Amino acid sequence: MTDRPPPLVVLGCGFTGAVVAGLRTASGGRVIATTRSSERAAELAQAGIDVRVLPELTADAVERLVPDGADVLVAFPPDGATDAAVAPSLGRARAVAYVSSTAVYGGATGRIDEATPTSADGPRAAARLAAEAVYRERGAVVLRAAGIYGPGRGLHQRLLRGDFRMTGEGDQQGRNVVSRIHVEDLARLALAALERAAPGEAFPVADDAPVPQIEVVRWLCARLGLELPAGAPREDLHETLRHDRAVDNAKIKRALGMTLLYPSYREGFEACMAVEAQAPSPVEAARAPRERG
């Protein structure tokens, strides 16, 4: 007898999906993943993942792809049509998890938790909520992730490129509170949700330390030896940089009985920079053994 996990199918094996796939293969599970990129497929295949290059996901393709009793992670952004087409084809799956976004909370500010009303006011929120609905009808667990960062992606990279701007000017610059989640913690939570979360449940997902953006920027600039970036009028920034809210992660940690590897931006960004110094892919980074104190 072995405790080998069930097969995992990752629909849309991008940044988050690749880390989830790496963790499952590291535990001895088979992973089947889809991507539209041949280059991406070659990278994933080197990590022991069974990759299918599909220009588009169709109901027939997904039905053929998912073995009986498999777990399914849906990690591609909504396009208004694909989710509704493929969700009914997941009937053979043991469990389904959908990676959504805190965009579903619209313009809500302050503390965000499971009781915060969602809002379809805006195309991003509407698309995410529509996708959530079709997967939850199938019994999927929904993970509403705050800003996802990790090796090769995140605020530290934007500061290094010099293309990041903060809201406000002077003393008010960057005072908006921002929540984030390290991609490895999101991946661990996704796998745990597939294993033991209640079907149809929805969880806000973030780290333990929502803080004003200026705190993170100052810390990173000092760590990286950079000047503080300039401010910009609120209306000139992408909508994700205008939010002022603290996402409460208590519900998912309680439901899954888990703590985070990277409870704040400090641990998370230090880990990113350590990985980037060695330059493995996110898949290999997830599979690499770690020492835990």
Measured CA to CA, the distance from residue 10 to residue 191 in angstroms comes to 11
Q: From first to last of its 293 residues, what are the pLDDT tens digits of the chain?
A: 457 899 999 999 999 999 999 999 999 999 999 999 999 999 999 999 999 999 999 999 999 999 999 999 999 999 999 999 999 999 999 999 999 999 999 989 999 999 999 999 889 999 999 999 999 999 999 999 999 999 999 999 999 999 888 776 555 557 789 999 999 999 999 999 999 999 999 999 999 999 999 999 999 999 999 999 887 655 555 555 557 899 999 999 999 999 999 999 999 999 999 999 986 555 555 554 443 32
Which residue has tokens 């996704």? Answer: 190
Q: Residues with Cβ < 8 Å from 128, sequence gap 6 or more?
A: 78, 100, 101, 103, 104
Please name the residues in contact with 120: beta carbons below 8 A apart, sequence gap of 6 or more.
Answer: 106, 126, 129, 130
Rounded distance between C-alpha atoms, residue 13 and residue 64, angstroms: 17
> What pLDDT, on a 0 to 100 scale, did the predictor assign at position 166?
77
Tens digit of each residue's pLDDT (9 = 90 or more) over 221-238: 999 999 998 876 555 555
Q: What is the pLDDT of residues 160-185, one digit of tens each?
A: 999 888 776 555 557 789 999 999 99
**CA atoms of 148 and 139, how far apart (whole Å):** 24
CB 55 within 8 A of CB 40: no
- Which domains, and CATH codes, for the chain? 8-287 (3.40.50.720)
DSSP 227: P
Other beta carbons less than 10 A from residue 172's beta carbon: 12
Q: Give me 21's structure tokens.
A: 């796939």
Q: Give the tens place of pLDDT for each residue, 53-91.
A: 999 999 999 999 999 999 999 999 999 999 999 999 999
How many Å apart are CA 62 and CA 27, to the nearest integer?
A: 24
Closest CA to 266 of 211, 229, 228: 211
Q: The tokens of 197 are what?
A: 């979360």
Angle at 42 between CA 40 and CA 58, to 5 degrees: 60
Asked if 204 and 114 touch (Cβ cutoff 8 Å), the reply is: yes
